[in-house]
Amino acid sequence: MTELELLIDFHKDAERQGPGSTADTLRALSFIDLNRNSPLKVADIGCGSGAQTIILAQNIAGRITAVDLFPEFLDRLRQKSAGLGLQDKITPLKASMEDLSFGREEYDIIWSEGAIYNIGFEKGIKYWKSFLKPGGYLALSELTWITNSRPREIEEHWNREYPEIDTASGKIRILEENGFSPAGYFPLPRSSWIDNYYEPMEERFEDFLIRHGNSEAAMRIVDAEKEEIRKYRKYKNYFSYGFYVAKKLPGE
Ligand code: SAM
């Protein structure tokens, strides 16, 4: 197995592949004015196994195209949505977020939890904007500094790993510069990282290592995740995911 295949194997049976919660998804949704006559068209980009896709399908009158690069995650979403009778509302689509076959101004809402970093925040906003109707909404969660200054270790770490990390005001400015009007922002609470993401992940370490015969590559993945958890626990007062909801201005 390649390192990428191992990573997919590690994450595919998790409830979610990043920090978040039902309450976060519903809170972000509450900033969106959903009073439309026709059913809404929604794209959930970088959906993973679709924890948030299911919540959206249960709370929106419309249809959701759920995009991910990896079929293993989409298979899990397919199973879950069939089990809940939501298969007619959710269409899984294997595609890259950087190369989408969507129509111009096709969607009312573009949703993406913990995934836009794969294309880059500003690049993703510029590219995805063309697929949104005027007056349509973008809802994104993205790594964000939640204080104006922070200890050097964590500042250097994130500047190296994800140089686009910024404070909420910096992220909102980028949205505004690209033709969006901010409709809502909140930082994800710690429970969305610890209870919903890191603790379930810690419970999978042992089984994953056994399944892969304690291979060096499997151990490298576990060690890297443990280090990420250590940094989060130590520096949780300084960064989180910010959830941003913004409306595309007419004429953009
Ligand atoms: N939204 C899910 C959640 O919050 O549980 C998944 C978040 S996970 C951190 C990021 C997701 O982006 C993964 O499912 C990964 O497969 C997907 N991804 C990475 N690169 C991608 C790309 N170029 N195009 C589409 N999806 C991609």
Supply the ipTM of this predicted assembly. Answer: 0.99
pLDDT tens, position by position, 96-141? 999 999 999 999 999 999 999 999 999 999 999 999 999 999 999 9
CA angle 35, 135, 109 (to 5 degrees): 70
Ligand 1 pocket test, candidate residues 97, 102, 111, 241, most atoms within 8 A of CB: 97
d(CA 64, CA 109): 9
Structure token pair of residue 161: 């790993």
Given a cut of 80, is residue 34 above it in pLDDT? Answer: no
Given a cut of 80, is residue 35 above it in pLDDT? Answer: no
Q: Kindly report the protein residue whose alpha carbon is nearest to atom 13 of ligand 1.
A: 48
Q: Is the CB of 124 under 6 A from ligand 1?
A: no
CATH topology of domain 19-189+238-248: Rossmann fold (3.40.50)
Q: Is the CB of 50 under 6 A from ligand 1?
A: no
Q: Is the CB of 47 under 6 A from ligand 1?
A: yes
Domain extent listing, the chain: 19-189+238-248
In angstroms, what is the span from residue 112 Cα to ligand 1's centroid?
A: 9
